[in-house]
């Protein structure tokens, strides 16, 4: 199998291949899955947000709390994504919000969530600046860009 440089050369792009570094975006899977009207968490919401992030140049990392596997509408699809490593599941009994915020700090990542994390504001004062809030309307995702001066 040809590597990236070989593929680029074959495509006439020469040796100018540079691995693209995409900014990381952590997806609060529980918040995103529960963002639809009704009480059932939807895996489709998570998939829509991931696709939108990729289209906007982000490297999405989906983080879920342990309870989501019991609440999600497509349990089989959810479990498959956990097994494939597409969804990172916080260990049972841990505070998934703390895990998510710590991960974002460590990786200098943005967080896609409508949770304000008010109970974590003291420990994570930068969280507000990392947030990308969202809406899902008729299977379309719209992101809100927060201005750091707000």
Q: Is 98 inside any structural domain?
A: yes
Give the pLDDT of residue 150. 34
Q: Say which residue, 13 or 45, is predicted with more confidence.
A: 45
Residue 1 lies in a domain: no
Residue 33 · residue 68 · CB < 8 Å: yes
pLDDT in tens, 41-64: 999 999 999 999 999 999 999 999
Evaluate whether residue 2 is within a structural domain: no
Between 37 and 28, the more confident residue is 28
Torsional sign, CA 117, 52, 129, 104? positive
φ/ψ bin of 93: left (φ > 0), alpha (ψ from -120 to 50), beta (otherwise)? left
Would 4 be classed as within a structural domain? Answer: no
CATH number, domain with residue 37: 3.40.50.11980
Task: Give the model's pLDDT for residue 146.
Answer: 60
pLDDT tens digits along 97-148:
999 999 999 999 999 999 999 999 999 999 999 999 999 999 999 999 765 4
Residue-range definition of the domain harbouring residue 137 = 20-145
Q: What is the pLDDT of residue 95?
A: 87
Residue 39: its pLDDT value, please? 77
Domain membership of residue 7 (yes or no) is no
Report the number of distinct structural domains present in the chain.
1
Whether residue 21 is predicted with pLDDT greater than 50 in this model: the reply is: yes
pLDDT at position 107, please? 95
Evaluate whether residue 12 is within a structural domain.
no
Q: What share of the chain is helix, strand, coil (3-state, %, to 5)?
A: 40, 20, 40
pLDDT band at 84 (very low <50, low <70, confident <90, very high): very high
Q: Is residue 14 one of the residues assigned to a domain? A: no
In a domain, 88, yes or no: yes
The C-alpha angle with vertex 68 and arms to 67 and 73, in degrees rounded to 5, equals 135
Could you tell me which of 115, 120, 144, 103 has the C-alpha nearest to residue 33? 115
């Amino acid at each position: 199998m040809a590597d990236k440089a070989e593929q680029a050369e074959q495509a006439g792009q020469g040796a100018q291949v540079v691995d693209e570094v995409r900014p990381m975006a952590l997806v609060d899977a529980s918040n995103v899955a529960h963002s639809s009207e009704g009480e059932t968490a939807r895996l489709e919401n998570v998939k829509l947000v991931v696709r939108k992030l990729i289209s906007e140049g982000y490297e999405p990392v989906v983080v879920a709390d342990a309870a989501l596997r019991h609440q999600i509408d497509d349990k089989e699809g959810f479990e498959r994504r956990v097994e494939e490593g597409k969804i990172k599941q916080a260990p049972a009994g841990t505070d998934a919000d703390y895990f998510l915020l710590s991960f974002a700090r460590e990786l200098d990542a943005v967080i896609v969530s409508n949770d304000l994390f008010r109970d974590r504001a003291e420990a994570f004062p930068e969280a507000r600046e990392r947030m990308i809030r969202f809406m899902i309307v008729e299977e379309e995702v719209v992101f809100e860009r927060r201005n750091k001066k707000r």
